[in-house]
C-alpha cells in the first residue's frame, strides 16, 4: 500500500533512492582518477531524444542509461574503448568513446523484426540468439506489457509457436492448460517445467490444478524463454520432457535510481459469444408440449395419471404466474449472475545500483473482479532482489519474493447443480427473489429437478483459496580463472494453501440436505534445491570457441496437509470460520509425503569460425519415486547448427541477411507420478460401521512395482532461421518428432486381485509437428511503422503401443454417463468416445425403430434419437461406441499487427485454432431434460411430425423417457478466431515527459477477447471444466469468458 | 564429480574450493537421499502384529459391502441392477444409459453396473483374504476372538462368491492376498462347481467359529451363516448345478436348524422392516450397515418418486420404482400392498411432512426411512442411518418351505406353518391341502411378493429358470418371458448370466470365454 502513502513520505523515499548511487559514485571517483568522462545524446530516427537507452562499455562492463532528454554520462579508461548503445526495437550501435572533449551524438535506427544479438536465457546459462543450436522461443517484457495478465500462462498465450496455452475459463486468474509440442505422457503430468531465475519450481500438488507458477506476479517478469527441442531441454534431463519455461525476473539497474509505476483498471463485460436459453414464454410453450407428448412417449404412465398438466400447476403458483397462467417474470440469468466491477492492478518498482551492486524492490497489488458475481482474485506481492560484485572474484546475490493471494472460486462443483450450470438451467419465469425477500429457486417449481438460482448460489457459497508463497534464492558466482566460473544457487519455494469452503443451508442440491457444509483444508508444500555448476569459456586459436558446463544438484519437496469439515449448522453466519458449530463434524484427515531428486549434468558448446556450432549435453538424474533398481537414468542430447549466412557465398548478400540451419536429437524424461508408487501399501480408507460406531479398517491400497522406472521422450528437431532484407523479414521454422517410451501409467489390472491399477511403464506415443513463425517490418518510415508477426503450430499425436495392449478407458478423461475418452493404439490421446447420432427416427421408420429398446426399455418411436447400430444387433450399447472427436487442435497460432504513428501505437492480436472438437456435455442437460429445468433454445427445433429432419428428439416430459448418451450431437467443431487484444497506446514525447520530471509516461487502453468467430453453440470453444490430462474440450458448464476493457498508465521516474 | 574437484584443486585453491568440498562432503554418500518411506500408509509385511490389527482388517471387509449402494453414474446406484431386470421395477428418470440398457435387456460387459458388482465383490474378497492370511499369525491373541474373526471373514467371502457365481457363472477363485507376481494375478475362470465348494467350505467352517446366533452390532452371526448356507444349498439344488433332492434336503435341514434353534421370529409389522430401532435384530439377520455420520444410506433419494416433493430431500430421483403390473399382482387385501403400511406407498406428505397427497403410482416403502424423509408433522432429517437388508428370516422360512416340499415330495406341516407365517402377516388366508406343484408355486409367489426389491427375485428367476407373469399370476419359462409391464422386452437364454465385465477381460487375457450371447 506504499503507493497510497502521502506524497511527503514518497518524496522522502525517492530522494534517498536518488542520492544513493551518487554517494557510491563519489567514492568510486576517488579511486580512479584517470577516468575519462564521456557525455552525449541519443536520438531516434526522427531526431527526437531517446530516453532509456542502455550505454555500456564493452571493456569494463560499466553502463549508463539515457535520461528523458536522451542524455547520458559514462566513464571510460581510454578513448579507444568501445561503447554500445542498445534499446529494444532498435539496432545496437557501437562507437568509440573518444576523448570526451565534445558530446557524442548517436542516431538509433529501428531494428529489424528480430534482433540476433539478443541474449537468450538457456538452462544454466545464457546465449546469443544467433548462437543457439536448439529451438528456443522467447518473450520479452515489452510484449508481456501489451496484454497485462494475472498469470504467466495467460501472458504467454499465442506468443510462441509450439506452445499451446488454453485459457479454459473466464475465472480471474484463469484455469489454463499449457502444452509444449503436444502430449508426452498418458498418466504423468504434461505440464512443462518452470524455472525461475535458475531455480526449478516443483511440479505442484495443489488443489484446483494450480501450480507454483500461478502465484508469480506476471508484472515481475523480465523475460520468458521456452525450451522446446531436446537439445535445449536435455540439461534438465529428467524433468524436461514436457518442455521447459525459463523465467527471468526483473533486476536492479546499474544506472542509478529509477522508480516505475504501472497501473491498470479494467472492467469485464459479457463476452462476444454466449449460449442461448429459452425465455419464459418459450419455456411455458415447451413445457406444455412436453406434457402433451407424454401421451405419445409414455402411454401407460399417461393412462395411470402420472402426468400433471403444467397449466394447472402454474395456477397454484400466484407468485410466479397471473391468473391466466402467464409468467410474471422473464429473467435473463446470465445477466443477473454477472457483474461489471472495476478491477485494478498496481505495480511499483524501485531499482537502482551502480556497476558493482544493483537492487530492485517490486510491489504489486492486484484485484481482479470476475464476470460472475462475487468472483475475485486479490494478490499482494513484494519482491526484493540484489546482485553485487562483492569482490573482484565473487559475485553474490539473490531475491526474495512473497505473495499473498486470495481468490473466490464461484464456479466449483462441476457435475452438480453449481452456479454456472444454474445460469443455464434456472427457469426464466423465476425472479431472483420474491417480494418477501426470499430466494426464488427451481426447487420451488413442482416437478423440477431442483437446485437454487445462480445468484443465490453465487451469494451463499464461498470457496476461498488463500495461498501464501515464499520464493527465494541466493547465489554465488565465483571467478576461478579467466573464463572459469563456479555458480552455486540455493533456492526455496514454500507454498501454503488454505481452502475455506462454505455452502449455505438453503442451497438446494448443494448443502440443503446437509443444512450447510464447511470444508477446510490446509496444505504446505516446501521445496528446496541446491545446484552447483562450473562454466568454462575459452576461445582457442581464433577460430575455436568452447563453453563447458559441469554441475550437480539436489532437490527435495516435503508436503504436509490436513483437512477437516462439518455439516449441519444452525446458521450461515459462521461460514467456514467455526467448525465447532457443526452438529455433524466430519473426521479430520492428514497426510504427509516427500520426494527428492539428485542429478549430475554437463554441457559442451563448440563453435568453429562462428559458423559451425555444436552442443552436447548429458544429465544423470535420480528420483526417489522409482523402484530401488531404477532410481537413476541418463539423458543425453546433441545438436548442430550451421550459420550459412556467415559463409563467403552469402556474406554481404542483400537478400539473405541471416540463414541458420540446425538439427538436434536427445532424450528427456518424466517422473511426475505419485510418490511411493513403487511400494506395496495398506490403506486406512475403510470405515466400517459396527454397533453404530465408526471402526477404521486397514485394507489393500497399492501393489508394489519394484521395476518402476523413468518415462523417456526422444526428440529430434530440424530448424531453419532465415532473415531477409537486413532481417526485415525473419522466419523461424522447426520440424520435430517426439517419441515417448516406457510411459508411466496407473495401468488397470484385473480387479479380481482386489486392486484397480498398478503404476507401470506401459507403452509408447509419438508427436510430430511443425512450427512456423514469421515477423516482418512492413513499413518503416520517419513517422509511421507497421510490423506483423504470425505463427502457426501443427501437432499430430498418436499412441504407438500399449502394454495392455487393449484400449484404455477411464484414464485422463472425465466419465460422463459413460466413459468419454479412450486411449487406443494408432489414435491420438484426448479422443472422445461415444455413439454416432444419425438424427431422429421419422414416421416412415416407425417399424424399424420399434425393434430397439434403448429408451429405458420402452419401444422406440418416431421422434426418438436414432443411433448408428454398428454391429446390427438391435441393441445400442458400448459395442456401438466409437471415436467421435478429439479435443486437440490440428493447428493453432496468432497474428499480431503493430502500427506506430509518431507516439501513437495500435496493436491488434488475433488468436486462432482449428480442428479442435468440443465435447459439450451440457447438451445432455440442455436438450435431453425438458420440464425439470430450463433448456437450450435449440429445443425449439426439436422433432415434430412437421419437422422430422432434425437431430433433436421430440420434446416430452423427462419422465416419459428421453435418450441421452455421449454422442456426435454433443461433439462440435471448436475452431475459432478470437480478437485477443486490441491496444491503443500513447507515449508522451520527451519534451512533455521532461517537464514533468519523468523518464517515461505512457497511457494505453485495451479491449481483450473482443470478438469470437466460431460455429460452436456454447459459450467459448477454448474450454474444459475438468482437470484431467486429456480433458481439453470436454465441458460441462463453464465460467463464461468476459470481454475486458482496460485503461492503463506507465510512469517512469 | 572427480574431474570437477580436480579442476578446482589444480587451478586455484581458494575459498571456493573449500566451499565446494563442504558441499560434496555434506551430500556425498547420500544413497539414503532417494530412499522412500510413506509416512501416511502402512506396509503389509510389517503390520498385522497385535489383535487390534485383526479387528482393523475385518472392518475393512465389512466396509466394502457398502458397494451395493454406491453410485453408478447419474441418478443410479448398483443395487438397481438386480431389480430392473426382473420386471418388478423400472425407472422414472431415463437419464442413465447404463440403467436404460439394463432395463431394455440390451446391456453388455461394458455396463457400469455389471462392472461395479464384479469390482465390489472382489474387493470384499481381497479384504477377507488378507484377514485369512494374516490374522492366524497374530500372537498373542485371544483364540476365541481370533476364530470369530476368521469365521466372519469366511462368511463375507462366501457371501461375495455366492453373488459372483450367480451373476457371472464360472469366475476366478482367489483365496489368497495378491501381488503383481502372484500365480493367480491373471486368473482363468474356475468352474461354478468349485466356487460352490469353496462357498460351502467357508460357511461350514464359519458355522463352527464360535459366533453368536444373533448379533445386534451388525457383524456376521451364526444365524446369518446358516441362513446363507441354506440359500446356497437351495441354489445348488436348482439351476445350473441341478444337484436335486439331496441338496433340497440339505437346504431344508439347514433352514430348519435356524427355525428350531435360532430363537428368531418375524417382525409383527412391516414398519419394523425399515425402523431404525429394529436394525440387525430378529428378522434382519444380516444387513449392510449405514450410519449418516460415517456413511449415510444413499438409496433414499434414488427410491423417491421423480421430483414430486414428498420428502425433506432436495433431490428426489425415481431411479428405481415398482412396475404397475407387479404392484397390481398382490392379492386383494394383501397388507403388503397397502399404502404406507406394507411395501409400497401411493400417497405421501407434501415435502415429507405436509398435507397428504396422491402420487398416482406406487413407490417402494420397504426401504423408506421416515426419519430422513419426514412423516406427518415431522420434518425429515435428510440423514439416513437405515441399513439395507441382505438376509431376512422371512427368506429362511420360504427356503425351508420350498426345499422341504422338494426334498420330501410333499409339503409337511412345518412347511405350511412357514409359508402361512408369511401370509398371515400379510393378512391373507392360510393355505392348506395343496399338491406338491401347487405348494411350490405358492411358495414362489410368496417369495416374489415378500422379498421384492431386496436383490432376491432375480436369483430366484435364474435358479428356477422361471419368471412370474404378474398379469396372469402364473409362472412361465424364463426364456421367452415377456414382461407384462413392457411387452417389447423378452428374456433370452443369455440373460441367465450377466456378461463378464469387458474391462476385466481386456486387463486379463486369460479370462475367457465370455458368457454365451454377449
Q: Which residues contact A394 (CB under 8 A, 6 or more apart)?
A: A476, A477, A478, A479, B15, B16
State the Cα–Cα distance between residues B430 and A140, nearest whole angstrom. 92
Average pLDDT taken over every residue of chain B: 92
Q: Each residue of A734-777: pLDDT tens digit?
A: 999 999 999 888 888 999 999 988 888 888 999 999 999 999 99
The grid coordinates listed for A632 are: 537413476
Distance from CA of B16 to the nearest CA of A (A): 7
Does the beta-carbon distance from B27 to A623 stay under 8 Å?
no
Confidence grade of residue B382 (pLDDT, cut at 50, 70, 90): very high
First to last CA, chain B: 63
Residues of B in contact with A864 (CB under 8 A): none
Q: In this complex, is the C-beta atom of A478 within 8 Å of any C-beta atom belonging to chain B?
A: yes
Yes or no: say if A73 and A38 are a contact pair by the CB < 8 Å rule: yes
Q: Which residues pair with A12 in a beta bridge?
A: none
Asked if residue B127 has pLDDT above 90, the reply is yes
Q: In this complex, is the C-beta atom of A300 within 8 Å of any C-beta atom belonging to chain B?
A: yes
ipTM over 0.95: no
Does the beta-carbon distance from B38 to A681 stay under 8 Å?
yes
Nearest CA in chain B to A490: B23
Nearest CA in chain A to B289: A689
Supply the Cα-derived Rg of chain B in whole angstroms: 27
What is the per-residue pLDDT for B113? Answer: 96
Pairing of strands A757-761, A744-748: antiparallel
Residues of B in contact with A556 (CB under 8 A): 33
Q: Each residue of A215-224: pLDDT tens digit?
A: 777 778 888 8
Residues A226-250 as b or e (16 or more Cβ within 10 Å = b): bbbbbbbbbbbbbbbbbbbbbbbbb
**Mean pLDDT along residues A274-290:** 94
Distance from CA of A826 to the nearest CA of B (A): 17
Name which of A21-35, A465-479, B14-28, B96-110 the model is least confident about. A21-35
Does the beta-carbon distance from B62 to A751 stay under 8 Å?
no
Write out residues 113-152 of A within 8 Å (CB-CB) of B.
Answer: none
Name which of A118-127, B268-277, B401-410 the model is least confident about. A118-127
Confidence grade of residue B31 (pLDDT, cut at 50, 70, 90): low
Nearest CA in chain A to B127: A699
Q: Which residues contact A23 (CB under 8 A, 6 or more apart)?
A: none
Q: Which residues contact A637 (CB under 8 A, 6 or more apart)?
A: A230, A231, A233, A234, A615, A616, A617, A618, A664, A665, A666, A667, A668
CA distances, A345 to each of A140, A169, A377 (Å):
20, 20, 11
What is the per-residue pLDDT for B11? Answer: 47
What is the per-residue pLDDT for A558? Answer: 92
Asked if residue A174 has pLDDT above 90, the reply is no
Nearest CA in chain A to B290: A689
Exposed/middle/buried for residue A435 (C-beta within 10 Å: 0-12, 13-18, 19+): exposed
| Bigger pLDDT: B154 vs A21 | B154
Asked if residue A235 has pLDDT above 50, the reply is yes
| Interface size between A and B, measured as CB pairs under 8 A | 351
What is the per-residue pLDDT for A208? Answer: 60
Q: Suggest the residue from A511, A513, A755, A854 to mutate for an interface test with chain B (most B CBs closer than 10 A).
A: A513
Handedness of CA A204, A207, A209, A211 (dihedral sign): negative
The grid coordinates listed for B161 are: 462368491
Residues of A in contact with B98 (CB under 8 A): 817-818
Candidates A591, A697, A750; nearest CB to B186: A750
State the Cα–Cα distance between residues B91 and A966, nearest whole angstrom. 20
Name which of A208-217, A457-466, A894-903, A1037-1046 the model is least confident about. A208-217
Helix residue spans in A132-267 (DSSP H): 141-146, 152-156, 230-233
Name which of A350-364, A443-457, A795-809, B271-285 the model is least confident about. A795-809
Asked if residue A13 has pLDDT above 60, the reply is no
Yes or no: say if B419 and B252 are a contact pair by the CB < 8 Å rule: no
Name which of A1028-1037, B133-142, B441-450 the model is least confident about. A1028-1037
Nearest CA in chain A to B32: A624
Asked if residue B9 has pLDDT above 60, the reply is no
Asked if residue B82 has pLDDT above 70, the reply is yes
Average pLDDT taken over every residue of chain A: 86
Residues A58-88 as b or e (16 or more Cβ within 10 Å = b): eeeebbbbbbbbbebbbbbeeeebebebbbe
Handedness of CA A24, A26, A31, A33 (dihedral sign): positive
Yes or no: say if A51 and A68 are a contact pair by the CB < 8 Å rule: yes
CA distances, B461 to each of B86, B88, B496, B497 (Å):
8, 12, 8, 11
What is the per-residue pLDDT for A855? Answer: 85
State the Cα–Cα distance between residues A511 and A14, nearest whole angstrom. 54
State the Cα–Cα distance between residues A932 and A315, nearest whole angstrom. 18
Confidence grade of residue A961 (pLDDT, cut at 50, 70, 90): confident
Name which of A187-191, A522-526, B327-331, B441-445 the model is least confident about. A187-191
Does the beta-carbon distance from A963 to B100 stay under 8 Å?
yes
State the Cα–Cα distance between residues B74 and B95, nearest whole angstrom. 7
CA distances, A1045 to each of A148, A169, A273, A348, A1020 (Å):
12, 18, 16, 22, 18
Asked if residue B430 has pLDDT above 70, the reply is yes
Confidence grade of residue A962 (pLDDT, cut at 50, 70, 90): confident
State the Cα–Cα distance between residues B223 and B232, nearest whole angstrom. 14
The owner of cell 499430430 is A796
Distance from CA of B361 to the nearest CA of A (A): 7
Candidates B73, B103, B217; nearest CB to A857: B103
Q: How many other CB atoms sit within 10 Å of the CB of residue B294?
A: 19
Q: Suggest the residue from B42, B55, B96, B100 to mutate for an interface test with chain A (most A CBs closer than 10 A).
A: B100
The grid coordinates listed for A795 are: 501437432
Yes or no: say if A988 and B119 are a contact pair by the CB < 8 Å rule: no
The three-state DSSP-derived secondary structure of A214-252 is HHCCHHHEEEEEEECCHHHHHHHHHHCCCCEEEEEECCC
Q: Estimate to the nearest angstrom the gap between the alpha carbon of A195 and the chain centroid.
A: 15
What is the per-residue pLDDT for A610? Answer: 83
Q: Each residue of B190-237: pLDDT tens digit?
A: 999 999 999 999 999 999 999 999 999 999 999 999 999 999 999 999
The grid coordinates listed for A305 are: 395419471
Q: Which residues pair with A529 in a beta bridge?
A: A491, A555
What is the per-residue pLDDT for B27? Answer: 53
Asked if residue A175 has pLDDT above 80, the reply is no
**Mean pLDDT along residues A295-320:** 89
What is the per-residue pLDDT for A583? Answer: 92
Asked if residue A533 has pLDDT above 50, the reply is yes
Distance from CA of B259 to the nearest CA of A (A): 25
Asked if residue A189 has pLDDT above 50, the reply is yes
Q: In this complex, is the C-beta atom of A699 within 8 Å of any C-beta atom belonging to chain B?
A: yes
State the Cα–Cα distance between residues A897 and A908, nearest whole angstrom. 5
Q: Estimate to the nearest angstrom the gap between the alpha carbon of A470 and the chain centroid.
A: 21
State the Cα–Cα distance between residues A198 and A194, nearest whole angstrom. 9
Does the beta-carbon distance from B313 to A513 stay under 8 Å?
yes
Q: Which residues pair with A258 in a beta bridge?
A: A351
pTM: 0.85
Yes or no: say if A891 and A792 are a contact pair by the CB < 8 Å rule: yes
CA distances, B175 to each of B129, B171, B184, B198 (Å):
6, 12, 9, 9
State the Cα–Cα distance between residues A125 and A117, nearest whole angstrom. 16
Residue A812's SS3 state is coil
State the Cα–Cα distance between residues A743 and A241, nearest whole angstrom. 12
Write down the number of H helices and E strands in chain A: 13, 53
Candidates B33, B179, B324; nearest CB to A304: B324
Residues of B in contact with A964 (CB under 8 A): 94-95, 97
What is the per-residue pLDDT for A310? Answer: 92
Q: In this complex, is the C-beta atom of A623 within 8 Å of any C-beta atom belonging to chain B?
A: yes
Q: In this complex, is the C-beta atom of A558 within 8 Å of any C-beta atom belonging to chain B?
A: no
Nearest CA in chain B to A507: B314
State the Cα–Cα distance between residues A892 and A906, nearest whole angstrom. 24
Yes or no: say if B136 and B146 are a contact pair by the CB < 8 Å rule: yes
State the Cα–Cα distance between residues A399 and A797, nearest whole angstrom. 40
Q: In this complex, is the C-beta atom of A757 within 8 Å of any C-beta atom belonging to chain B?
A: no
Mean pLDDT comparison of A602-611, A793-802, B246-255, highest-scoring range: B246-255
Identify which of A145, A148, A250, A262 has the alpha carbon closest to the alpha carbon of residue A1050.
A262
Yes or no: say if B500 and B511 are a contact pair by the CB < 8 Å rule: yes
Q: In this complex, is the C-beta atom of A804 within 8 Å of any C-beta atom belonging to chain B?
A: yes
Does the beta-carbon distance from A596 to B105 stay under 8 Å?
no
State the Cα–Cα distance between residues B224 and B286, nearest whole angstrom. 6
Does the beta-carbon distance from B47 to A701 stay under 8 Å?
no
Amino acid at each position: 500500500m506504499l503507493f497510497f502513502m502521502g506524497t511527503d513520505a514518497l518524496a522522502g523515499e525517492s530522494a534517498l533512492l536518488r542520492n544513493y548511487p551518487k554517494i557510491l559514485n563519489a567514492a568510486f571517483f576517488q579511486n580512479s582518477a584517470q577516468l575519462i568522462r564521456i557525455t552525449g545524446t541519443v536520438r531516434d530516427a526522427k531526431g527526437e531524444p531517446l530516453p532509456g537507452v542502455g550505454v555500456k562499455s564493452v571493456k569494463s562492463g560499466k553502463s549508463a542509461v539515457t535520461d528523458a532528454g536522451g542524455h547520458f554520462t559514462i566513464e571510460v579508461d581510454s578513448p579507444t574503448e568501445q561503447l554500445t548503445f542498445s534499446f529494444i526495437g532498435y539496432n545496437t550501435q557501437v562507437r568509440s568513446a573518444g576523448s570526451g572533449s565534445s558530446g557524442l551524438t548517436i542516431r538509433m535506427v529501428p531494428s529489424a523484426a528480430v534482433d540476433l544479438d539478443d541474449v537468450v536465457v538457456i538452462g544454466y546459462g545464457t546465449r546469443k540468439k544467433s548462437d543457439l543450436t536448439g529451438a528456443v522461443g522467447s518473450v520479452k517484457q515489452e510484449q508481456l506489457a501489451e496484454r497485462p495478465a494475472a498469470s504467466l500462462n495467460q501472458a504467454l498465450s499465442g506468443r510462441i509457436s509450439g506452445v499451446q496455452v488454453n485459457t479454459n475459463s473466464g475465472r480471474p486468474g484463469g484455469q489454463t492448460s499449457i502444452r509444449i509440442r503436444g502430449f508426452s505422457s498418458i498418466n504423468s503430468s504434461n505440464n512443462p517445467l518452470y524455472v525461475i531465475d535458475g531455480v526449478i519450481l516443483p511440479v505442484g500438488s495443489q488443489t484446483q490444478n494450480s501450480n507454483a507458477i500461478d502465484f508469480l506476479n506476471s508484472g515481475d517478469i523480465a523475460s520468458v524463454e521456452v525450451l522446446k527441442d531436446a537439445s535445449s531441454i536435455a540439461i534438465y534431463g529428467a524433468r524436461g520432457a514436457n518442455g521447459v519455461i525459463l523465467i527471468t525476473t526483473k533486476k536492479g539497474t546499474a544506472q542509478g535510481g529509477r522508480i516505475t509505476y504501472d497501473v491498470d483498471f479494467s472492467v469485464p463485460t459479457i463476452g462476444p459469444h454466449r449460449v442461448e436459453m429459452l425465455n419464459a414464454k418459450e419455456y411455458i410453450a415447451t413445457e406444455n408440449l412436453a406434457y402433451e407428448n407424454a401421451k405419445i412417449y409414455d402411454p401407460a404412465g399417461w393412462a395411470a395419471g402420472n402426468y400433471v398438466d403444467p397449466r394447472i400447476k402454474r395456477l397454484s403458483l400466484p407468485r410466479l404466474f397471473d391468473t391466466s397462467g402467464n409468467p410474471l417474470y422473464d429473467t435473463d440469468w446470465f445477466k443477473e449472475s454477472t457483474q461489471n466491477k472495476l478491477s485494478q492492478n498496481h505495480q511499483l518498482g524501485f531499482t537502482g545500483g551502480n556497476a558493482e551492486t544493483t537492487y530492485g524492490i517490486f510491489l504489486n497489488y492486484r484485484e481482479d473482479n470476475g464476470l460472475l458475481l462475487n468472483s475475485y482474485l486479490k494478490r499482494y506481492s513484494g519482491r526484493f532482489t540484489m546482485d553485487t560484485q562483492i569482490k573482484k572474484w565473487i559475485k553474490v546475490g539473490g531475491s526474495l519474493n512473497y505473495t499473498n493471494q486470495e481468490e473466490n472460486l464461484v464456479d466449483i462443483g462441476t457435475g452438480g447443480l453449481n452456479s454456472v450450470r444454474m445460469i443455464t438451467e434456472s427457469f426464466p419465469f423465476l425472479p431472483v427473489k420474491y417480494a418477501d425477500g426470499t430466494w426464488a429457486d427451481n426447487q420451488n417449481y413442482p416437478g423440477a429437478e431442483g437446485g437454487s438460482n445462480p445468484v443465490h448460489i453465487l451469494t451463499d457459497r464461498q470457496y476461498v483459496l488463500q495461498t501464501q508463497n515464499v520464493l527465494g534464492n541466493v547465489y554465488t558466482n565465483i571467478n576461478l580463472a579467466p573464463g572459469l566460473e563456479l555458480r552455486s544457487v540455493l533456492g526455496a519455494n514454500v507454498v501454503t494453501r488454505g481452502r475455506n469452503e462454505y455452502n449455505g443451508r438453503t442451497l438446494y442440491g448443494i448443502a440443503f440436505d446437509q443444512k450447510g457444509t464447511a470444508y477446510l483444508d490446509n496444505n504446505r508444500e516446501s521445496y528446496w534445491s541446491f545446484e552447483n555448476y562450473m562454466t568454462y569459456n575459452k576461445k582457442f586459436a581464433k577460430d575455436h570457441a568452447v563453453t563447458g558446463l559441469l554441475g550437480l544438484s539436489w532437490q527435495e519437496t516435503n508436503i504436509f496437509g490436513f483437512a477437516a469439515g462439518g455439516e449441519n449448522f444452525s446458521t450461515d453466519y459462521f461460514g467456514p470460520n467455526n467448525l465447532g458449530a457443526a452438529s455433524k463434524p466430519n473426521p479430520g484427515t492428514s497426510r504427509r509425503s516427500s520426494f527428492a531428486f539428485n542429478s549430475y549434468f554437463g554441457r559442451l558448446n563448440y563453435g568453429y569460425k562462428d559458423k559451425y556450432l555444436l552442443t552436447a549435453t548429458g544429465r544423470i538424474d535420480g528420483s526417489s519415486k522409482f523402484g530401488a533398481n531404477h532410481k537413476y537414468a541418463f539423458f543425453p542430447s546433441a545438436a548442430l547448427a550451421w550459420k550459412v549466412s556467415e559463409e563467403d557465398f552469402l556474406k554481404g548478400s542483400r537478400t539473405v541477411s541471416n540463414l541458420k540451419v540446425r538439427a538436434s536429437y536427445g532424450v528427456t524424461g518424466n517422473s511426475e507420478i505419485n510418490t511411493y508408487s513403487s511400494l506395496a501399501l495398506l490403506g486406512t480408507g475403510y470405515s466400517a460401521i459396527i454397533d453404530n460406531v465408526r471402526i477404521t479398517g486397514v485394507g489393500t491400497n497399492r501393489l508394489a512395482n519394484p521395476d518402476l522406472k523413468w518415462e523417456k521422450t526422444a526428440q529430434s528437431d530440424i530448424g531453419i532461421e532465415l532473415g531477409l532484407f537486413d532481417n526485415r523479414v525473419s522466419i523461424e521454422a522447426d520440424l520435430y518428432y517426439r517419441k515417448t517410451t516406457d510411459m508411466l501409467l496407473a495401468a488397470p489390472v484385473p480387479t479380481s486381485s482386489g486392486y484397480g491399477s498398478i503404476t507401470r511403464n506401459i507403452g509408447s506415443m509419438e508427436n510430430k509437428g511443425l512450427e512456423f513463425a514469421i515477423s516482418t517490418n512492413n513499413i518503416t518510415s520517419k513517422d509511421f511503422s507497421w510490423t506483423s508477426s504470425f505463427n502457426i503450430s501443427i501437432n499430430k499425436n498418436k499412441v504407438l503401443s500399449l502394454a495392455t495392449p487393449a484400449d484404455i478407458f477411464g484414464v485422463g478423461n472425465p466419465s460422463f454417463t459413460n466413459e468419454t475418452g479412450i486411449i487406443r493404439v494408432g489414435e491420438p490421446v484426448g479422443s472422445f468416445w461415444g455413439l454416432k447420432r444419425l438424427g431422429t427416427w421419422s414416421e416412415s421408420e416407425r417399424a424399424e425403430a420399434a425393434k430397439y429398446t434403448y429408451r429405458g426399455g420402452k419401444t422406440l418411436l418416431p421422434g426418438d434419437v436414432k443411433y448408428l447400430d454398428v454391429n446390427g444387433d438391435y441393441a445400442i450399447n458400448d459395442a456401438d461406441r466409437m471415436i467421435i472427436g478429439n479435443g486437440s487442435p490440428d493447428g493453432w497460432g496468432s497474428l499480431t499487427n503493430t502500427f506506430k504513428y509518431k507516439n501513437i501505437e495500435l496493436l491488434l492480436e488475433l488468436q486462432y485454432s482449428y480442428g479442435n472438437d468440443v465435447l459439450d456435455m451440457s447438451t445432455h442437460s440442455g436438450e435431453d431434460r425438458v420440464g425439470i429445468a430450463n433448456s437450450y433454445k435449440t429445443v425449439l427445433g426439436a422433432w415434430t411430425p412437421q419437422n422430422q429432419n432434425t437431430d433433436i428428439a421430440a420434446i416430452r416430459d423427462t419422465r416419459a423417457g428421453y435418450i441421452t448418451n455421449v454422442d456426435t450431437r454433443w461433439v462440435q467443431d471448436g475452431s475459432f478466431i478470437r480478437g485477443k487484444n486490441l491496444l491503443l497506446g500513447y507515449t508522451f514525447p520527451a519534451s512533455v515527459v521532461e517537464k514533468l520530471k519523468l523518464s517515461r509516461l505512457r497511457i494505453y487502453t485495451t479491449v481483450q477477447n473482443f470478438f469470437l468467430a466460431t460455429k460452436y453453440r456454447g459459450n467459448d470453444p477454448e474450454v474444459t471444466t475438468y482437470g484431467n490430462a486429456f480433458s481439453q474440450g470436454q465441458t460441462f458448464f463453464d465460467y463464461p469468458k468476459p470481454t475486458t476493457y482496460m485503461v492503463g498508465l506507465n510512469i517512469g521516474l | 564429480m572427480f574431474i570437477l574437484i580436480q579442476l578446482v584443486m589444480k587451478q586455484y585453491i581458494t575459498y571456493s574450493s573449500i566451499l565446494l568440498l563442504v558441499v560434496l562432503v555434506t551430500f556425498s554418500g547420500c544413497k539414503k537421499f532417494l530412499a522412500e518411506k510413506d509416512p501416511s500408509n502402512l506396509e503389509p509385511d510389517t503390520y498385522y502384529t497385535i489383535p487390534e490389527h485383526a479387528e482393523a482388517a475385518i472392518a475393512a471387509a465389512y466396509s466394502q459391502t457398502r458397494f451395493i449402494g454406491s453410485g453408478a453414474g447419474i441418478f443410479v446406484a448398483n443395487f438397481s441392477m438386480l431389480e430392473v431386470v426382473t420386471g418388478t421395477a423400472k425407472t422414472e428418470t431415463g437419464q442413465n444409459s447404463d440403467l436404460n440398457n439394463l432395463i431394455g435387456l440390451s446391456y453388455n460387459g461394458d455396463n457400469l453396473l455389471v462392472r461395479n458388482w464384479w469390482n465390489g465383490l472382489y474387493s470384499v474378497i481381497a479384504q477377507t483374504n488378507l484377514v485369512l492370511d494374516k490374522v492366524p499369525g497374530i500372537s498373542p491373541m485371544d483364540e476365541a476372538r481370533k476364530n470369530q474373526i476368521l469365521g466372519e471373514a469366511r462368511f463375507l467371502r462366501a457371501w461375495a462368491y455366492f453373488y459372483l457365481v450367480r451373476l457371472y457363472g464360472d469366475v476366478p477363485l482367489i483365496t489368497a492376498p495378491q501381488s503383481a507376481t502372484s500365480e493367480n494375478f491373471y486368473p482363468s475362470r474356475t468352474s461354478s462347481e468349485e466356487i460352490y465348494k469353496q462357498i460351502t467350505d467357508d460357511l461350514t467352517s464359519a458355522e463352527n467359529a464360535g459366533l453368536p446366533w444373533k448379533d445386534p452390532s451388525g457383524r456376521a452371526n451364526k444365524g446369518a451363516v446358516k441362513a446363507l448356507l441354506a440359500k446356497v444349498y437351495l441354489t445348488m439344488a436348482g439351476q445350473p448345478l441341478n444337484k436335486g433332492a439331496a441338496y433340497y434336503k440339505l437346504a431344508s435341514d439347514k433352514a430348519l436348524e435356524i427355525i428350531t434353534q435360532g430363537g428368531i421370529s418375524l417382525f409383527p409389522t412391516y414398519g419394523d422392516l425399515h425402523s431404525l430401532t429394529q436394525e440387525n435384530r430378529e428378522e434382519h439377520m444380516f444387513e449392510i450397515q449405514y450410519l449418516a455420520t460415517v456413511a449415510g444410506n444413499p438409496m433414499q433419494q434414488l427410491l423417491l418418486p421423480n421430483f414430486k416433493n414428498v420428502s425433506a430431500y432436495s433431490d428426489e430421483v425415481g431411479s428405481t420404482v415398482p412396475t404397475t403390473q407387479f404392484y397390481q399382482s398382490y392379492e386383494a387385501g394383501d397388507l403388503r400392498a397397502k399404502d404406507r403400511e406394507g411395501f409400497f406407498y401411493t400417497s405421501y406428505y407434501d415435502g415429507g411432512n405436509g398435507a397428504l397427497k396422491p402420487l398416482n403410482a406406487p413407490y417402494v416403502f420397504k426401504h423408506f426411512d421416515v426419519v430422513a424423509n419426514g412423516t406427518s408433522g415431522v420434518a425429515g432429517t435428510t440423514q439416513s442411518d437405515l441399513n439395507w437388508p441382505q438376509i431376512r428370516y422371512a427368506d429362511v422360512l420360504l427356503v425351508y418351505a420350498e426345499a422341504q416340499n422338494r426334498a420330501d415330495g410333499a409339503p409337511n406341516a412345518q412347511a405350511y406353518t412357514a409359508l402361512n407365517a408369511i401370509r398371515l402377516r400379510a393378512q391373507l388366508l392360510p393355505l392348506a391341502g395343496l399338491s406338491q406343484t401347487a405348494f411350490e408355486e405358492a411358495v414362489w409367489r410368496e417369495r416374489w411378493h415378500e422379498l421384492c426389491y431386496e436383490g432376491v427375485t432375480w436369483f430366484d428367476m435364474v435358479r428356477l429358470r422361471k419368471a412370474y407373469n404378474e398379469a396372469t399370476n402364473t409362472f412361465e419359462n424364463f426364456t421367452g418371458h415377456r414382461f407384462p409391464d413392457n411387452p417389447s422386452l423378452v428374456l433370452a437364454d443369455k440373460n441367465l448370466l450377466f456378461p463378464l465385465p469387458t474391462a476385466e477381460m481386456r486387463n486379463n487375457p486369460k479370462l475367457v470365454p465370455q458368457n454365451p450371447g454377449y
